[in-house]
Amino acid sequence: MTYNYLSPEQWKKVNQQFPAHSYEHGGRPPKDDKLVVAALIYRLNHDVVWRDLPETFGPWQTIYGRFRLWKKQGIWEKIIITLLEERIVETPYPQTIVIHRGRKAQF
């Protein structure tokens, strides 16, 4: 089963939130960002814990690790705002979502 939550136009908006990837230091390239974003959308929309993510997305530890990295780098805040603006993520509080550091984003 595939989870394609984003149209090409929506993915373009989300993809703009990422810094350019650099593989200068060797190693394998990271898991596809679009698949990780799809897993995070699934998790938010279905209210599941990390371990209950479908195997289609790969190991839950990989998804969680990328989420933590993006959150630490400030990328997740930009992504979630884009997902909310595009109405891709469902939230029980459609008008306001509390974002890290107590800021609120109005939609």
pLDDT tens-digit series, residues 40-79? 989 888 888 999 999 999 999 999 999 999 999 999 989 8
Q: State the pTM of this model.
A: 0.75
Joined tokens for residue 32: 């596809």
Q: How far apart (Å, rounded) are the C-alpha atoms in residues 8 and 15?
A: 10
Query: By the 8 A CB rule, do 99 and 106 touch?
Result: no
| pLDDT above 70: percentage of residues in the chain | 71
What the block records as the tokens of 22 is 């650099």
